[in-house]
Structure 1
Amino acid sequence: MVKQSIVALAEHLTRSTRSIPAFKTTYKNMLKDPSKKYKPFIAPHLTERKWPNNRITKAPRWLSTDLRDGNQSLPDPMSVDQKKEYFQKLVSMGFKEIEVAFPSASQTDFDFTRYAVENCPDDVTIQALVQSREHLIKRTVEALSGAKRATIHTYLATSDMFREIVFNMSQEEAIVKAVEATKLVRKLTKDDPKQSATRWSYEFSPECFSDTPTDFAVAICEAVKNAWEPTVENPIIFNLPATIEVATPNIYADQIEYFSNHITEREKICISTHVHNDRGCAVAATELGLLAGADRVEGCIFGNGERTGNVDIVTVGLNMYTQGVPPNLDFSDMNAIKEIVERCNKIPVPQRAPYGGDLVVSAFSGSHQDAIKKGFALREKNKAQGIKDERWRIPYLPLDPKDIGRDYEAVIRVNSQSGKGGAAWVILRSLGLDLPRPMQIEFSNVVQTNADKLGRELKAEEITNVLKEHYNYNNEFANTIELIDYDVQKFGTERRILKANVKVNGKEQNIEGTGNGPISSLVDAVSKLLNCRFAVSNYTEHSLGSGSTTQAASYVNLTYKRESDNEKCYKWGIGVAEDVSDSSVRAIFSAVNNAIRSGEVSVN
């Protein structure tokens, strides 16, 4: 019989699966064999690379290019007033090098460059980008004249594809053009006695370095260096940009290390990275570039930039910070930084953006919430015991939110997926109540039901209101039986007798009960009053607050049998008072009134 049933079930399943359409992967637009169209990048040959064993131990020189590269990528570029506000924010964050504009491109950019020159602190270098053309270089020098510290940044595309397709230029012609531009900049800046009040620096970018034969990148930069004649005190900046990410970050690191090892007079050179995010690896490529010998990082706050964006300086900087390395940039008010960036760029910061996104310090998953809650609980326990440990060790949170100006209220957020730890955390942070574990489990189900009903996460205020109403917090929501006063006296060596005056539906009544303590005596008195035998199955208490404002919080779980079917039931109650005895009494009445409100216990 069993065998026949199994056979019948198998036949039924076979018939059922025949009705399910077969799905086949089709390549409508994508190629099954992309190697016919796309070729892997050929990396430089390194036999003894050193960067994999290196560590980032200090902050690089930072250059913000938000106002130039970032601004030119915006569908709606910043107004002059917005650029001024943004510039001041960058200065206050600690940026010492800021690329402010492309002053030869428009009068607006020229005027803003003049504003930056005239309002820049003496220790901040103003940088401007310019193409390798004589009239544009002269206009850029004019815009920067009078600055305390200024950098002229020229560039020339050096990859084979750009030279051949865009410029129809040989490698030799490219070197000649780069040297000519360099000599002109030198003539108009550091060699001009009229410009002696400014500390002039020079930056050259072999644009599309990531897609340039590395030997050629070294050769053109060597020629530019010889034309500029840098010093150890004022090195030339060679920006080696991944203008387009064409390979994995490790290959970019190989390119940087190869360049660093083969360029001469390395002590007179500052190697800078400028990584775009075409492959989504800008942060990784930048960090590996630093391991490979780069000295400087160009990027934007939150990674705005052409196409897929520039490297996110917030992420690179705070990655260092969480490894114990000071980034030398101030991210302590992340919300204010984010507000300015979003308002001026008119582009929202993604909610999951590392460090700055609204949700990155928030946990919805029950297991995550439980681990975070335990981490904070251990910190509080160690603090109470006088154990000093300054290390930040909280599961799932590599950065203390307070270090970037955020509070702990948003760390755990509660929706229908959240576990017991999530709701308990919110209650602990909002009301100071450390719910007993069995109560946490029950309350999480109550919260999940409410979240499911609303179809969204619950705010902290909503969660606290749910707790107060569901558990009849301090008898504020159900008060059929109201305590007026009570007195407990000894009865023999181990017994207590409690006499109390209560109101039942507004009418005063005296009750009396005995037990081995105040709680059991009160439970006995209420049991007699309602003709329902209550018993305490769980009792917990803890202090609430500190100093002169300390109160006691008590949690009581009463069991009883339902009148209608004699089934065993239970109800939790919460009481808070200055005295622990009063808080215990309040918790008992909270639970009893909750039982009456549920209809499981009646009042005669």
Structure 2
Amino acid sequence: MVAKSVASLPSVDGAALLERVEVLDTTLRDGAQAHGISFSLQAKIRIALELDRLGVSFIEAGWPGSNPKDEEFFRAIRDYSLSHAEIVAFTSTRRKGMKPEEDRVLAKVLDAETRWVTVFGKSWTLHVHEVLRTTLEENLDMVYDTIRFLREHGVRVIFDAEHFFNGYLEDPEYALKVLETAVEAGAERIVLADTNGGMLPHTVYRVVREVRERIKAPLGLHMHNDSGCAVANTIMGVLAGAEHVQVTVNGIGERTGNADLCQVVPGLELKLGVRALENPEGLRLLRRVSRLVYELAGLQPNPYQPYVGDNAFAHKAGVHVDAVLKTPRAYEHIDPGAVGNQRRLAVSELSGAANLVAWARRELGLELGKRDPRLRRALERVKQLENQGYSFDNAYASALLILMEELGARARPFRVEAWRVVSEGGPQGSRSWALVKVAAPGGETVLAAGEGGGPVHAVDEALRAALARLLPGGAGAARLIDYRVTLPGAVRHTASTVRVEVTLTDGSSAWTTVSVSDNIVEASLDALTQGIEYYLLRSRLRQQASTPATRAPSG
């Protein structure tokens, strides 16, 4: 690999940065060991295909011989053609007192028919004596024999030195002897693992620099996050000369997880100018891959996750919003689109006029002055509602409806006059039926019914049926995609008050509305009504606009 200097970053101890670093993703192996996560076979295939599209160099997909699902994956993935990544099987060194050709687990690894295999072995004398309960020399033989056996069968080997940093700090000569044995046996990558996750960045940097003086094979890093430093440790290891990094999507893994691919890769590519992905456009897929893994793992996405989280580029304080709209660099360390994310402007009691002005321009094509008294009145209403338990951090559509009302341009296209919901349960499950009475501005009313698996589903169906008869186009293409209920902590007057947020989409964009009530169905219906009203309002304004920006209605 050719070294190069990065003008914007000074060298560390005179070390030149590498031009290229390999990424091995172990989401399907180490990530799948996280508590509460179990990927199905189809989920593993979907993730592997997306990781290949992203452009990682290696996908460590499982441990043949440890469970039938992993063995089935290695058979199934042969039916797919990958563009960038090598599929890698994972295994341990041979068992003590046994020849490699007698070890059934190693036979299963060969059956996986991957060109690369990761072998992990002990490099900490504590583990050799207390876990393996064998001699230091026998451990070296286990490392050598396993790698040599695989190499003789035409398999290329990545050697993971388990607990290397702990081992090196206690007995550096033995830890280095393990690495030298692996290189002698034919390993092509030597990975230093902080398996306990307790190292700090300055130690990682020093150790990697020292190991580079003795080991000439490419060095890699496998960092766990028990000290909260997995990403920092990985970056510091690269600065010290590591050429290979092992990560998981969203940092999932044993205990507190591993180094997060979604932070390590943009850190390398965007901050250090070190290429990490085979696909030059891969970074823009980062948020998409993050969301897919959350979904298939059954986890809620972390909104505060750097780079790809919902809040990574969300601005709430009015001063921040005003500045970022003038100069994005003022409060954004990178362009959100570089990692497939986008800027989000929250509307809240902390916000200034700049937030609403920006949303009105972006969503409705309206140009407003920040000193417009109607804008100030809308902000005051937002703040009053937040004091009652509303939250507009996500629900900018509700805030824009308030603004349009103050501008005299809301022109409510319909009004819900009455509703009723009946639910019942039984051996066949629960069902709900709803009646909704909707009135048009001219006085015409429609009563419609709906049926669903729950009261909110039923009332949504009834509302849409009524609007389909009352308005041309009804609710149009708007459909419900998310529904959330919370108990607003700021509201103390009743324990039954709930806040409902609904998110709708028309296929090209999504928007969220919010309502608060002592009755969950009432709050749900109000939020749904707002969501559809916002869709109709935005569609009308966009049809009327002859240019991308239109002057706001005069007061």
Find the counterpart in structure 1 of residue 354 from structure 2: 421
Change beyond 3 A, Cα 1:316–1:226:
same
Give distance in 1, aligned partners of 2:60 and 2:230: 19
Change beyond 3 A, Cα 1:98–1:227:
same
Q: Report if aligned partners of 2:401, 2:410 keep a CA contact under 8 Å in 1.
A: no
Q: Report if aligned partners of 1:427, 1:463 keep a CA contact under 8 Å in 2.
A: no
Give distance in 1, aligned partners of 2:285 and 2:184: 44
Give distance in 1, aligned partners of 2:371 and 2:144: 76
Give the secondary structure class of the aligned counterpart of 1:154: strand
Change beyond 3 A, Cα 1:65–1:476:
closer
Give the secondary structure class of the aligned counterpart of 2:220: strand
Find the counterpart in structure 2 of residue 527 from structure 1: none
Identity of aligned residues (%): 23
2:363 aligned with 1:430: yes
Q: Report if aligned partners of 2:64, 2:105 keep a CA contact under 8 Å in 1.
A: no
The amino acid that maps onto 1:280 is G
Q: Mind listing any 5+ residue stretches in structure 2 that lack a counterpart? A: 1-10, 95-99, 414-540
1:106-125 matches, within 5 Å, as 106-121=67-82, 124-125=85-86
Give the secondary structure class of the aligned counterpart of 2:315: coil
TM-score, scaled to structure 1: 0.61
Give the secondary structure class of the aligned counterpart of 1:63: strand
CA shift digits 1:339-392 (9 cap, x unpaired) = 3201221222311011121221211222222221222xxxxxxxxxxxxxxxxx
Q: Report if aligned partners of 1:426, 1:463 keep a CA contact under 8 Å in 2.
A: no
Give distance in 2, aligned partners of 1:259 and 1:222: 11
Give distance in 1, aligned partners of 2:129 and 2:163: 13
Q: Report if aligned partners of 1:256, 1:293 keep a CA contact under 8 Å in 2.
A: yes
Change beyond 3 A, Cα 1:468–1:299:
same
The amino acid that maps onto 1:550 is T
2:191 aligned with 1:223: no
Give distance in 2, aligned partners of 1:79 and 1:95: 22
Give distance in 2, aligned partners of 1:260 and 1:304: 29
Find the counterpart in structure 1 of residue 163 from structure 2: 208
2:43 aligned with 1:82: yes
CA shift digits 1:476-502 (9 cap, x unpaired) = 99xxxxxxxxxxxxxxxxxxxxxxxxx
2:466 aligned with 1:466: no
- Note the C-alpha offset of 1:272: 1.0
2:249 aligned with 1:291: no
- Note the C-alpha offset of 1:242: 0.9
Give the secondary structure class of the aligned counterpart of 1:66: coil
- Note the C-alpha offset of 1:307: 0.6
**Which protein is bigger by CA-based radius of gyration?**
1
Give distance in 2, aligned partners of 1:56 and 1:473: 58
Find the counterpart in structure 2 of residue 128 from structure 1: 89
1:460-499 matches, within 5 Å, as 460-473=396-409
The amino acid that maps onto 1:220 is V
1:539-550 matches, within 5 Å, as 549-550=546-547
Change beyond 3 A, Cα 1:111–1:66:
same
Find the counterpart in structure 2 of residue 452 from structure 1: 387
Q: Report if aligned partners of 2:63, 2:91 keep a CA contact under 8 Å in 1.
A: yes
2:110 aligned with 1:142: yes
Change beyond 3 A, Cα 1:86–1:291:
same
Change beyond 3 A, Cα 1:279–1:130:
same
2:283 aligned with 1:347: no
Give distance in 1, aligned partners of 2:29 and 2:549: 59
CA shift digits 1:550-604 (9 cap, x unpaired) = 38855xxxxxxxxxxxxxxxxxxx52xxxxxxxxxxx2xxx3xxxxxxxxxxxxx
Give distance in 2, aligned partners of 1:322 and 1:105: 38
Give the secondary structure class of the aligned counterpart of 1:437: coil
Q: Report if aligned partners of 2:17, 2:241 keep a CA contact under 8 Å in 1.
A: no
1:92-491 matches, within 5 Å, as 92-121=53-82, 124-133=85-94, 134=100, 135-145=103-113, 147=114, 150-187=115-152, 189-190=153-154, 200-213=155-168, 214-228=172-186, 236-263=188-215, 266=216, 269-323=217-271, 324-328=273-277, 330-375=282-327, 393-408=328-343, 411-439=344-372, 443-457=378-392, 459-473=395-409
CA RMSD of aligned residues (A): 2.9
CA shift digits 1:206-225 (9 cap, x unpaired) = 21012012332221111222
Give the secondary structure class of the aligned counterpart of 1:461: helix
Give distance in 1, aligned partners of 2:297 and 2:16: 34
The amino acid that maps onto 2:111 is A
Give distance in 2, aligned partners of 1:402 and 1:138: 44
Give distance in 2, aligned partners of 1:57 and 1:421: 43
- Note the C-alpha offset of 1:157: 2.0
- Note the C-alpha offset of 1:52: 4.3
Number of residues of Structure 1 aligned to a counterpart in Structure 2: 401
Give distance in 1, aligned partners of 2:390 and 2:261: 37
Change beyond 3 A, Cα 1:474–1:141:
closer
Q: Which moved more, 1:204-213 or 1:315-324?
A: 315-324
CA shift digits 1:392-414 (9 cap, x unpaired) = x5322223223333444xx2111
Find the counterpart in structure 2 of residue 498 from structure 1: none
TM-score, scaled to structure 2: 0.66
Give distance in 2, aligned partners of 1:151 and 1:403: 31
CA shift digits 1:131-158 (9 cap, x unpaired) = 212314532343233x5xx112222222
The amino acid that maps onto 1:221 is L
Change beyond 3 A, Cα 1:93–1:457:
same
The amino acid that maps onto 1:167 is L
Give distance in 1, aligned partners of 2:390 and 2:241: 51
Q: Mind listing any 5+ residue stretches in structure 1 that lack a counterpart? A: 1-49, 191-199, 231-235, 376-392, 478-543, 555-573, 576-586, 592-604
